[in-house]
Structure 1
């Protein structure tokens, strides 16, 4: 990418990238990281004279070859295209990723980079499923074949836990504290990162445990910016409008939010100067976001998929789906939220519907529904369990879970094939087939639902919803649920 040429058309880095050194290693250089942390860091480099907080982006998986090659060829540069609510496009070139590494090609190089003195923070976007957490046992999954491989081949790992352990081992030898910061959509993401890493370390390098406790911090954070998958149309439109030949730009909404627990062992960037918020306790903010925004996305995705929608905005503009979502947020999620001083929940929920309805985003239903087996336990089921504990309604959540069971059969209501991207797709399909005879069979997936199958209240609500959708279709069922809820509100 020729910056001097591109800068005549759109915003580009005004700082000298050759002087910026990586102080952060980031694992998982997909769209969200590049629309969020890299965006904040780029703005910081723009606004200040700091040169020690660039990002070294690491592609961890074999699957990440394409993004690594793209960024490598573009010297870490890419275009961020912000799709405004009025349809205009705000474009800027992001320059904060100053190094790129491909872990499968040279794992030792990545470990040494993570262990190097100039690196103060390791950040992660490895998706909900990357933390190797078993919902049923509430523990680290040692049976994962990749984990077993790492335990046997510590110097050539495949998982994030193998890499971090080897890097921390080297840092201990050199007396170098560090912060490991999750940027994934998981409640208590820092706490979970530490717990899962410590479980792995206990098996392979137990002498590290005391040192990690004293010298490594794991701040929790809440991240938010809707970032759809980049389409070929996005790439061609960018080229046609700006003459920029970018093989993998990132598209996103204008809204962005980052709330971070201020617990850093070796210094941190002043991200608060560019809009991030540092707080003592992230929990209320992340709970609000996960159970309203992320769960809202899941609701729209699953219901929209069954209806035959292809994008999230299509689902939002279906009146029965949007009414159902608002009632779910009002009647089942909101009662579980507290300690949100300064937050206008009604305004937040209204803003979410506007964000979901951005017709220029074209966020694909397939993307939102991907890896639902990792998303439901994090986004939807905490609300179910909280409502059961307070003897509140679970009827709306039960319908969403029932819709997911029917979705897992692989066909929408038009009998068209659904593209299901999920590591548990075969298992989900098997249980979904069993559920046709006995709906409660779907709830027997303990790694997802835990002990929920033992709740008579939820099983009854789920079975009622499953039978209603099977017999009457999704829209008719939504109408019935909405009418009943409005009648009793």
Structure 2
């Protein structure tokens, strides 16, 4: 049965219990990919199902040309879609109804008008780690990026998310209205701080007074978000049809979900604490735990599995060497570098990470975990190395993880199979990785990625040892060596 409003009463799966016609938009969201639709939108749907938050429905805002296709698909379904939460033993499908509109890309005036509407209390973002225009060398927002500079020259017709946010905030200020809160839901450390810098510095390009007003008056809460959400393929569309629903944009995800958020919403917010969101004064400890143990753990799993031609993440977790590598490096090097987290047992958290990665229902791919290492390694792995070097502790396993990433970027697996480009900087990474086969230091000389870590003699030594072993003996033998099995 086709998914749409008319068919909701007859669908064979769970559907919204609230009247969607009575919803009003309170959140403008940029980046309606699978993660947002399985995370923020699910929390809002749960809240609406208990009779709360009906004035905080989502209005999507398209920015990229690729958003047009997603908007077309969702509009044909009355902005409904299915989320299938999967444990190892069950699949739980439900229709999500928290979105009521999706503004098409190419019409900045419509987005600005919605942002300027006093009913809009929050502008939220899931635009990926690479969407914040961060200068790789400085680690800060780059106002000289051509797209941002263009918005600075044309502030009335911006083309970027940050130009649109500035235009919306300027309209609110001119009308004497309270600004909306800007809430980043991206998987980056201190995402609110990063979003603040991007919005303020974009405004500064054409109106320094507006920039200062935004810095002083607009809230940018930090948040830690978590849910494994693979991309949708024909496989998932076929699976939802087997459940009796024709949905052209379903989302399949794990049954685990977490959101820890700083409670800084002057314009108001939905009562998400009623459906499991944890509001805290400072999200930093939770953020560091997740980035190092979970995201760092993903990298530990990804590259040896990729080099050994393992396709799915749960298959990697079934491999004794990969699982042993993950256990040893987490227990000896990563978890000891994570400060205490309120009301949290780090060992229990890590046990849950392993359980989640081993879930065979998710169909999460090793290739997805290997994606975009040039953006992820400096956030998820290298800070842990830096901390351990500073305290004189071992980095042997982390050096091996870096060597595995380098070997992966050389572009072939141990069997000789070609690895398709899997990073925005793939060509440069591949050239450097191949040069590092004979001169390992070439890899660590990428200062925008490794910084001081790459210049540390102890790290250089262990990296070179492991990279040489990977090329000489392969991934399996190298992991056996690290684990003391040979």
- Shorter chain as denominator, the TM-score bin is over 0.9
Q: Which residue of 1 aligns with 2:289?
A: 288
Q: Give the deviation of 1:49 after TM superposition.
A: 4.2
Q: Which residue of 2 aligns with 1:337?
A: 338
> How far apart, CA to CA, are the structure 1 residues paired with 2:326 and 2:372?
21
Task: Tell me, yes or no, if the aligned pair for 1:135 and 1:450 is still in contact at 8 Å.
Answer: no
Q: How do 1:60-209 and structure 2 match up within 5 A?
A: 60-86=63-89, 88-103=90-105, 105-175=106-176, 176-209=178-211
Comparing 322-331 with 294-303, greater Cα deviation is found at 294-303
User: Per the alignment, do residues 143 and 464 of structure 1 end up closer, same or farther by CA in structure 2, a change over 3 Å counting?
Assistant: farther
Q: Give the deviation of 1:4 after TM superposition.
A: 5.5
Of 18, 23, 28 in structure 1, the residue corresponding to residue 21 of structure 2 is: 18
> How far apart, CA to CA, are the structure 2 residues paired with 1:167 and 1:179?
11
Q: Give the deviation of 1:249 after TM superposition.
A: 0.1
> How far apart, CA to CA, are the structure 1 residues paired with 2:134 and 2:452?
16
Task: Tell me, yes or no, if the aligned pair for 2:5 and 2:78 is still in contact at 8 Å.
Answer: no
Q: Give the deviation of 1:21 after TM superposition.
A: 0.8
Comparing 174-183 with 59-68, greater Cα deviation is found at 59-68
Comparing 313-322 with 437-446, greater Cα deviation is found at 437-446
The alignment's TM-score, normalised by the length of structure 2, stands at 0.96
Q: Which residue of 2 aligns with 1:45?
A: 48
Task: Tell me, yes or no, if the aligned pair for 1:21 and 1:54 is still in contact at 8 Å.
Answer: yes
> How far apart, CA to CA, are the structure 2 residues paired with 1:429 and 1:467?
17
Comparing 414-423 with 248-257, greater Cα deviation is found at 414-423
Q: Give the deviation of 1:34 after TM superposition.
A: 0.4
Task: Tell me, yes or no, if the aligned pair for 2:4 and 2:77 is still in contact at 8 Å.
Answer: no
Q: How do 1:232-381 and structure 2 match up within 5 A?
A: 232-242=234-244, 244-381=245-382
Task: Tell me, yes or no, if the aligned pair for 1:77 and 1:95 is still in contact at 8 Å.
Answer: yes
Secondary structure in 2 matching 1:483 = coil
Q: Which runs of 5+ in 2 are unaligned?
A: none
> How far apart, CA to CA, are the structure 2 residues paired with 1:425 and 1:17?
45
Q: Which residue of 2 aligns with 1:417?
A: 418
Q: Which residue of 2 aligns with 1:453?
A: 454
Per-residue CA deviation, residues 23-79 of structure 1 (Å, 9 max, x unaligned), is 001110000000000000011111024421100112321222322221121111000
> How far apart, CA to CA, are the structure 1 residues paired with 2:181 and 2:302?
35
Task: Tell me, yes or no, if the aligned pair for 1:222 and 1:259 is still in contact at 8 Å.
Answer: yes
Q: Give the deviation of 1:387 after TM superposition.
A: 0.9
Q: Give the deviation of 1:437 after TM superposition.
A: 2.2
Q: Give the deviation of 1:3 after TM superposition.
A: 4.2
Q: Give the deviation of 1:6 after TM superposition.
A: 4.4
Task: Tell me, yes or no, if the aligned pair for 2:83 and 2:253 is still in contact at 8 Å.
Answer: yes
Per-residue CA deviation, residues 148-198 of structure 1 (Å, 9 max, x unaligned), is 332333333332221112111111112322210111111111112112322
Question: What RMSD over aligned residues (CA atoms) do the two structures have, in Å?
Answer: 1.6
Q: How many residues align?
A: 482
Task: Tell me, yes or no, if the aligned pair for 2:382 and 2:450 is still in contact at 8 Å.
Answer: yes
Q: Give the deviation of 1:252 after TM superposition.
A: 0.4
Comparing 444-453 with 474-483, greater Cα deviation is found at 444-453
> How far apart, CA to CA, are the structure 2 residues paired with 1:91 and 1:281?
34
> How far apart, CA to CA, are the structure 1 residues paired with 2:135 and 2:389?
22
Of 51, 55, 60 in structure 2, the residue corresponding to residue 57 of structure 1 is: 60
Q: Give the deviation of 1:413 after TM superposition.
A: 1.1
Secondary structure in 2 matching 1:82 = strand
Task: Tell me, yes or no, if the aligned pair for 1:215 and 1:265 is still in contact at 8 Å.
Answer: no
Q: Which residue of 1 aligns with 2:31?
A: 28
> How far apart, CA to CA, are the structure 2 residues paired with 1:42 and 1:280?
25
Of 224, 227, 240 in structure 2, the residue corresponding to residue 225 of structure 1 is: 227
Task: Tell me, yes or no, if the aligned pair for 2:385 and 2:453 is still in contact at 8 Å.
Answer: no
Task: Tell me, yes or no, if the aligned pair for 2:407 and 2:433 is still in contact at 8 Å.
Answer: yes
Task: Tell me, yes or no, if the aligned pair for 2:200 and 2:212 is still in contact at 8 Å.
Answer: no
Secondary structure in 2 matching 1:154 = coil
> How far apart, CA to CA, are the structure 1 residues paired with 2:144 and 2:405?
27
Q: Give the deviation of 1:361 after TM superposition.
A: 0.9
Comparing 392-401 with 156-165, greater Cα deviation is found at 156-165
> How far apart, CA to CA, are the structure 1 residues paired with 2:367 and 2:158?
31
Per-residue CA deviation, residues 428-456 of structure 1 (Å, 9 max, x unaligned), is 12211221221111122222222322211
> How far apart, CA to CA, are the structure 2 residues paired with 1:319 and 1:14?
45
User: Per the alignment, do residues 125 and 262 of structure 1 end up closer, same or farther by CA in structure 2, a change over 3 Å counting?
Assistant: same
Task: Tell me, yes or no, if the aligned pair for 2:116 and 2:168 is still in contact at 8 Å.
Answer: yes
> How far apart, CA to CA, are the structure 1 residues paired with 2:228 and 2:295?
10
> How far apart, CA to CA, are the structure 2 residues paired with 1:452 and 1:135?
15
